Amino acid sequence: MNFIIQDPIATTTTRIGAAARAVSRLAAERAGQLDREGGFPAEDVVHCHEAGLLAAPLPEDLGGSHLDAPGMAPVLLDVLAQIGRGSLALGRLYEGHVNALSLILRYAAPPVRERLAADVRAGHLFGVWNTQPQEGGLALAGEGAGTRLTGVKSFASGAGSVTRPLVTARRPDGRQQMLVIDLEPGQRADLSSWCAQGMRASTSGILDFTGLPVDAGAHVGEADDYYREPHFSAGAWRFAAVQLGGIEAVFDALRAHLGATGRGGDPHQAARLGESAIAVETARLFVGHAAALANDPEAEPDRVIAYVNLTRLAVERAGLDVLERAQRSVGLAGFLQTHPLERLSRDLATYLRQPGPDRALTHAAAYVLADARPADGLWHEPALAPPPVHAS
Ligand SMILES: Cc1cc2nc3c(=O)[nH]c(=O)nc-3n(C[C@H](O)[C@H](O)[C@H](O)COP(=O)(O)OP(=O)(O)OC[C@H]3O[C@@H](n4cnc5c(N)ncnc54)[C@H](O)[C@@H]3O)c2cc1C
């Protein structure tokens, strides 16, 4: 009799991969209809829940698949890119959910973590809402049992649908406190400001928390933990992975168009397709190494931050290059709503906008300037060891 011994990590990876592909395929089919104000992908979120993807980042003892563990980074990368390829809006929402769970697992006290894990298993969608207007942002007011929230969060993906947002709120001493707030669906959200060119189904509107009570069970971590490095900056590799999926979707639409129209053999078209393939692979290589560095407990924190910052810019550049080439190659047809490229381009162009890109680049440049290692040792350990020094 032959016994087949199954590797539990390989089994989990196969199961999660299959779930992400199924979610991505159906999300791609529904994305066109959801490309409108208020078109939140509710069915896709339920699909994520039923396929085990909402709970996947939790450790096994909390009912998950350890997707947030450092050793699972390549799998998480594929899941994020896969979902982003099907629907960038769903990818944005799922990345926010994963980010929230990662912060909760890292910083929340055990009873808070266990209560919130039960909410995840029950199908609540989480998100991270940090962005706010210059005036009227979120703050904690009052003391003890009388503590309440005042103010709003803006560009809050899933506003009105995310029922467990992790938010940052200013404390009376000026420092920022992470809180997870229980919300009822459909309440307190104002989507009228979310009139964006793309990513409409991410419903990234305004949510007004004014008057909501806050108890100790809502607190996640200590003051300013949200900004603790290298995790704050390094976590950007995850949105870069979702962007990668959006770039691959545009690339696939370009290639399909060239195939269908028989224009791919033309040398100009072939050159643009080849350059696009380089851009896609550049983005994938950068995101892969960023994910590895960000999840390596031995990696130097400043090196991780610098590399992830470069990755943000490299992926943005790759996305802009593929967009430019796809629009030039397909021409006006790609700007008609009947063409797949039309929405994919708008979604990608919008989602490439992330905070402080200039700062990310100059921060990485400052690291490179100060580092004495030669170019081959900046981000990788050189394969060839330096020659031994012989005593004379
Ligand atoms: C689809 C989508 C969903 C989102 N969902 C969420 C969410 O769920 N939660 C959340 O918290 N946020 C969310 N955001 C907001 C996001 O995190 C960023 O805040 C937002 O994308 C910033 O975009 P921006 O281009 O205005 O960035 P900015 O940082 O304002 O950059 C704009 C330009 O100004 C430059 N710049 C920045 N600061 C300065 C300065 N001080 N002086 C001079 N120049 C400067 C930048 O380098 C850049 O060139 C979402 C954004 C998008 C696109």
- SS3 sequence, the chain? CCCCCCCHHHHHHHHHHHHHHHHHHHHHHHHCCCCCCCCCCHHHHHHHHHCCCCCCCCCHHHCCCCCCCHHHHHHHHHHHHHHHHHCHHHHHHHHHHHHHHHHHHHHCCHHHHHHHHHHHHCCCCEEEECCCCCCCECEEECCHHHCEEECEEEEECCCCCCCEEEEEEECCCCCEEEEECCCCCCCCEECCCCCCCCCHHHCCEEEECCCCECCHHHEECCCCHHHCCCHHHHCHHHHHHHHHHHHHHHHHHHHHHHHHHCCCCCHHHHHHHHHHHHHHHHHHHHHHHHHHHHCCCCCCHHHHHHHHHHHHHHHHHHHHHHHHHHHHHHHHHHHCCCCHHHHHHHHHHHHCCCCCHHHHHHHHHHHHHHCCCCHHHCCCCCCCCCCCCCCC
Q: How far is the CA of 114 from the centre of ligand 1 (A)?
A: 33
Q: Is 124 in the pocket of ligand 1 (CB under 6 A)?
A: no
Same fold: 8-227 with 231-373: no
Phi-psi region of 152 (alpha: psi -120 to 50; beta: other; left: phi over 0): beta
Q: What is the pLDDT of residue 313?
A: 98
Q: How many of the other CB atoms lie within 10 Å of CB of 124?
A: 20
Report residue 149: phi and psi, to 5°: -100, 145
Q: What is the pLDDT of residue 92?
A: 98
Q: What is the pLDDT of residue 4?
A: 61
CATH of domain 8-227: 2.40.110.10
Token pair 């060839």 is found at 384
pLDDT in tens, 19-31: 999 999 999 999 9
Mean per-residue pLDDT of the chain:
95
Mean pLDDT of 176-192: 96
**Pairing assessment for the beta strands 176-180 and 219-220 based on DSSP bridges:** antiparallel
Give the CATH H-level superfamily of domain 231-373. Answer: Butyryl-CoA Dehydrogenase, subunit A, domain 3 (1.20.140.10)
Q: What is the pLDDT of residue 216?
A: 85
Task: Establish how many alpha carbons lie within 13 A of residue 233's alpha carbon, considering only the half-sphere containing its beta carbon.
Answer: 22
Q: What is the pLDDT of residue 115?
A: 97
Q: What is the pLDDT of residue 164?
A: 98
pLDDT band (50, 70, 90) for residue 13: confident
Q: How far is the CA of 353 from the centre of ligand 1 (A)?
A: 6
Q: Is 126 in the pocket of ligand 1 (CB under 6 A)?
A: no
Atom of ligand 1 nearest to the CA of 350: 53
What is each CA distance from 167 to 155, 163, 265, in whole angstroms?
Answer: 12, 12, 51
Whether 254 has a pLDDT exceeding 80, the answer reads: yes
pLDDT band (50, 70, 90) for residue 179: very high
* Burial class of residue 237, CB neighbours in 10 A (0-12, 13-18, 19+): buried
pTM for the model stands at 0.95
Whether 221 has a pLDDT exceeding 70, the answer reads: yes
pLDDT in tens, 235-252: 999 999 999 999 999 999
User: Which has the closest alpha carbon to 85: 248, 254, 257, 287?
Assistant: 248
Least confident of 117-121, 134-138, 140-144: 140-144
pLDDT band (50, 70, 90) for residue 84: very high
Mean pLDDT of 106-119: 97
Q: Is 329 in the pocket of ligand 1 (CB under 6 A)?
A: no
pLDDT in tens, 313-351: 999 999 999 999 999 999 999 999 999 999 999 999 999
User: Which has the closest alpha carbon to 291: 60, 101, 67, 91?
Assistant: 67
pLDDT band (50, 70, 90) for residue 143: confident
Mean pLDDT of 262-266: 97
Mean pLDDT of 220-246: 97
pLDDT band (50, 70, 90) for residue 9: confident
Distance of CA 7 to the CA centre of its chain: 28
Whether 197 has a pLDDT exceeding 80, the answer reads: yes
Better-predicted residue by pLDDT, 149 or 5: 149
Task: Establish how many alpha carbons lie within 13 A of residue 129's alpha carbon, considering only the half-sphere containing its beta carbon.
Answer: 35
Report the alpha-carbon distance of residue 237 to residue 241 in Å, rounded: 6
Q: What is the pLDDT of residue 368?
A: 97
Structural domain spans, the chain:
8-227, 231-373
Q: How far is the CA of 204 from the centre of ligand 1 (A)?
A: 13
Least confident of 110-114, 140-144, 194-198, 387-391: 387-391
Mutate to test the pocket of ligand 1, among 128, 347, 358, 362 (most ligand atoms within 8 A of CB): 358
Q: What is the pLDDT of residue 142?
A: 85
